[in-house]
Amino acid sequence: MKTVRILVSGKVQHVGFRACTRKIAVNLGVCGEVVNCNDGTVEITATGDPAVLEKFVAMVYECPRAVIKEIETEPLETRLYADFTVGREAVQ
């Protein structure tokens, strides 16, 4: 298992992006959370098999109505989650 922080920039707030991200995560068996950030980006913390996480990141680009400008990923210490949740807002 691996955990990554994924920061997504572009038009990703108020377009159903968090719900789309959750649907993809649940379908792939990825656990974690997705939250809006104060600066207009969206932060995803995701835990899963490394190959599945790669597929997850690729599929996030397919969320309708979102216009993704950039996705940055960085590894984190492995975190265990029971499921994948949609949060309101990250503290920055």
Active site residues per annotation: 18, 36
Q: What SS3 class is residue 29?
A: coil
- Exposed, middle or buried: residue 69 (CB in 10 Å: 0-12, 13-18, 19+)? exposed
Helices 50-60, 17-28: crossing angle, 10 deg rounding:
150
